């Protein structure tokens, strides 16, 4: 059995009714807050879909990861293979047997959606594109993308190449979180290589100044797809639409979702990381008090005007015994809105505490014996 405590979240905000969601025509979509990971609206979020060039989000992730590990540098030059040079579809127009810097290839893939750049990067990281695809699928599993499987680095159609809008949302969220220094490239409107200037295919960058990424996709089987990320104030939203019938439709549907989210919802951070939320009696320890809190900041996204209605409940383990390791969970924090759980996080020890001496342990053992008898 666990102790239950109620924490008050009191911020007087004027109540505002939330209107119905915008009417969407695309077959699958999702809108989610970046910080809280709370879904604002969705349809067929777990249905398998053809991700088309949204695949390149994972290709970019793996290259960014290699840069972070120091195994690849932006100034490294990549020899362009005939396979990369011959790639059809969208291209940055690299030439066979030339050497192109990793940074230029990344921009060609991100801004111009170059299939040739994607294959060149895949071959450089993995040795072959097939080997790189193995890394893609391994990373997808590590990131918890349970409904995703890749067959290439570009997103060209293949029956065994699939994802879901929820998985693409999660991948986009993680990419922004882990690689903010490279994410900025997704907002660049134009890129010139080989004296050829091409515009970013994400036209929301022109329509909405709060949009600063991310990626478009299109194949005949996938339709027109778009992952869009936008920030207004401290609130960031990410939308994913797939299967639109035209470029205009994917822009309109994405824009409608983002506007709805920003207009009628807001995100708060009620608790910071490492903030003591409760102090519990610690038994048989070098000290008799244990502070509990959260390992990471807690964000919540709620309809505007409803923050005052949130309730925070602490469910804490009884009779916590030393030794205690910092970060170890000893309970749960649940945030509810109108009796519905909107966030649930483990309560962890904020510090490590060793066992007490023999005398302390003996006294606590006696006290616990009588307490459990009550």
CATH code where residue 300 lies: 2.60.410.10
Judge if 35 and 166 occupy the same domain.
yes
Q: Identify whether residues 34 and 145 lie together within a single domain.
A: yes
The answer to whether position 251 is within a domain reads: no
Statement to judge: residues 103 and 213 lie in one domain? yes
Inter-axis angle of helices 165-178 and 56-68, nearest 10: 30
> Model-level pTM?
0.90
pLDDT of residue 11: 43
**Same-domain check for residues 103 and 239:** yes
Clarify whether 90 is annotated catalytic: no
User: Can you count the helices (H) and strands (E) in the chain?
Assistant: 10, 18
Percentage of the chain beyond pLDDT 90 is 86
Catalytic member of 53, 118, 254, 343: 53
Q: Could you tell me the pLDDT band of residue 12, with boundaries at 50, 70 and 90?
A: very low
Structural domain boundaries, residue 288: 2-12+270-373
> Which CATH number goes with the domain that contains 129?
3.40.710.10
**Active-site choice (36, 90, 113, 164):** 113
Q: Is residue 265 part of a domain?
A: no
The 10s digit of each residue's pLDDT in 77-107 is 999 999 999 999 999 999 999 999 999 999 9
- Final residue of a structural domain among 227, 244, 261: 244
Under DSSP, is residue 301 helix (H, G, I), strand (E, B) or coil?
strand
**CA angle at 179 for the pair 174 and 182, rounded to the nearest 5°:** 130
> Residue with structure tokens 């019938």?
245
- Mean pLDDT, the chain, as a whole number? 93
> Cβ distance 184 to 176 under 8 Å?
no
**CA pair distance 191, 188, nearest whole angstrom:** 8
Question: Does any domain span residue 150?
Answer: yes
Same domain (yes/no): 288, 360? yes
- What ranges make up the beta strands (E) of the chain? 2-8, 28-33, 39-43, 77-79, 99-101, 190-193, 196-199, 211-219, 223-232, 235-244, 265-271, 278-283, 289-293, 298-303, 310-317, 320-321, 329-337, 340-349
Classify residue 258: in a domain, yes or no: no
Task: Verify whether residue 221 is a known catalytic residue.
Answer: no
| Tokens encoding 370 | 């009588």
Q: How many CB atoms lie within 10 A of CB 77?
A: 14
Same domain, 36 and 140: yes
* pLDDT at residue number 237: 98
Task: Please answer whether residues 257 and 31 qualify as being in contact, where contact means their C-beta atoms are separated by less than 8 angstroms.
Answer: yes
The DSSP symbol for 308 reads G
The yes-or-no answer on residue 239 being catalytic is: no
Based on the domain organization, do 319 and 283 belong to the same domain? yes
Co-location of 217 and 331 in the same domain: no
Out of 36, 56, 163, 254, pick the active-site residue: 56
Same domain, 240 and 308: no
């Amino acid at each position: 059995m666990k102790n239950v405590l109620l924490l008050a979240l009191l911020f007087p905000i004027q109540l505002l009714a939330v209107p119905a969601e915008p009417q969407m025509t695309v077959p699958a979509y999702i809108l989610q807050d970046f910080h809280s990971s709370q879904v604002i609206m969705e349809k067929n979020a777990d249905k398998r879909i053809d991700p088309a060039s949204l695949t390149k989000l994972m290709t970019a992730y793996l290259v960014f990861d290699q840069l972070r590990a120091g195994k690849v540098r932006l100034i490294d030059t990549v020899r362009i293979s005939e396979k990369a040079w011959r790639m059809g579809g969208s291209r940055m127009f690299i030439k066979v047997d030339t050497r192109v810097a990793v940074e230029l290839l990344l921009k060609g893939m991100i801004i111009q959606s170059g299939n040739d750049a994607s294959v060149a990067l895949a071959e450089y990281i993995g040795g072959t594109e097939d080997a790189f695809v193995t890394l893609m699928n391994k990373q997808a599993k590590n990131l918890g993308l349970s409904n995703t499987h890749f067959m290439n680095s570009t997103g060209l159609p293949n029956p065994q190449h699939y994802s879901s809008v929820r998985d693409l949302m999660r991948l986009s969220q993680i990419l922004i979180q882990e690689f903010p220094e490279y994410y900025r490239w997704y907002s660049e409107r134009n890129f010139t290589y080989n004296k050829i200037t091409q515009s970013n295919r994400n036209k929301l960058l022109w329509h909405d100044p709060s949009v600063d990424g991310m990626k478009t996709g299109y194949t005949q089987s996938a339709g027109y797809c778009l992952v869009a990320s936008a920030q207004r104030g401290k609130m960031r939203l990410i939308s994913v639409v797939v299967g639109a019938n035209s470029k205009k439709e994917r822009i309109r549907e994405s824009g409608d979702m983002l506007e709805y989210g920003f207009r009628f919802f807001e995100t708060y951070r009620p608790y910071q990381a490492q903030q003591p939320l409760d102090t519990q009696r610690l038994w048989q320890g070098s000290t008799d008090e244990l502070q509990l809190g959260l390992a990471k900041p807690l964000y919540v996204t709620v309809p505007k005007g409803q923050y005052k209605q949130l309730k925070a409940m602490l469910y804490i383990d009884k009779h916590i015994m030393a030794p205690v390791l910092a970060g170890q969970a000893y309970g749960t924090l649940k945030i509810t809105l109108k009796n519905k759980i909107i966030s649930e996080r483990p309560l962890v020890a904020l510090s490590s505490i060793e066992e007490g001496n023999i005398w302390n342990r003996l006294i606590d053992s006696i006290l616990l014996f009588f307490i459990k008898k009550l």
